[in-house]
Amino acid sequence: MGLVGLQGISDRAALVFTTQNGSATWDRVSEGMNASPGCGHLRSHWHFEGCGYRKGTRTCAELQFLPSCALPAIPLRKGTLNQAAFSLALFIRDACDDDLVGWIDKRLADADPGVHAPNRAAVMKDAVLGPLSEVYGVGPKVWSMLLADLLLGADPSREQWVTTGAAMIAIDSLVHAFLHRTGILKQLDVEHSYGPVCYGLEGCASVIDGLAERIDAREYNAAYPANFPRFVQAAIWVFCAEGGYGICNGNKIDDRQRCDQRYCPAYSTCDRIVLRAT
């Protein structure tokens, strides 16, 4: 939930709010679910859809139960985060039988087409991302960020976890803009606007998958898998983000004209395509 709360606001502002007000924890949410009588939306993961709680307007789908509802009791930054926290807890309780790790193991094992299947990682990735994306307010992009850390770092002996985590790609505006400005999207004839198309058959995610097939990540770390899309995506993000090298981003480039950062290590090979024509 700490990472879910970073959506739609600067990381600094979100972290300051959490430091001052606390976050949603398993204990707090579970206690709230057990102590909130009446509202049918808290009966189960499948009943929670349509809760509609909004912090700013103090509204929801069942206003008669709002005074005793557990959602407002946790002081999160906005109501959609309260919904996400309770939706996630209900999903883990009801869909995963209180065992998220076991649920992931089973989903990956059931979906695994075999170690030699060319689309193995993608199939296993979809088997996990599909159901988890039913959690309110947490879409595939955020889940890819969360699961990449979990699947790659939690237990290196779980080969299916590592293989799937290596394929978890999160396309944000920085990554999309980099692929546009450098001319990669144009050269591949897959130019598109930032948004859901980035995850389509000819979107940014597919481009990164293709780049990863041409880059042996073991040259950078012998412990890495040879085909490591997450590594490629993360490297692009670090190159662009203010929290990384901070080179290719809108704070450094006037996107109404071609980039003129001659100190950029990619300057001589970059197409420097205008992101937003005036």
pLDDT higher than 70, residue 238:
yes
pLDDT greater than 80 at residue 235: yes
Whether pLDDT at 94 is above 60: yes
pLDDT tens track for 113-163: 999 998 899 999 999 999 999 999 998 888 998 999 999 999 999 999 999
Does position 278 have pLDDT exceeding 80, yes or no?
Answer: no
Q: Is the pLDDT of residue 196 over 80?
A: yes
Q: Please, what sign has the CA dihedral across residues 49, 20, 246, 225?
A: negative
pLDDT above 90 coverage of the chain, percent? 76
Query: Is this structure's pTM higher than 0.95?
Result: no
> pLDDT band at 277, cuts 50/70/90?
low
Whole-angstrom distance, CA of residue 83 vs CA of residue 8: 16
Mean per-residue pLDDT, 225-236: 94
Predicted confidence (pLDDT) per residue in 10-35, tens digit: 778 888 888 888 888 999 898 888 77
Q: Flag whether pLDDT at 6 surpasses 80.
A: no
pLDDT at 80 over 90: yes
Query: DSSP readout, 100-149?
Result: HHHHHHHHHHHH---TT-TTHHHHHHHHHHHHHTTSTT--HHHHHHHHHH
Other beta carbons within 10 angstroms of residue 119's beta carbon come to: 11
Question: What percent of the chain clears pLDDT 70, i.e. is strictly above it?
Answer: 99
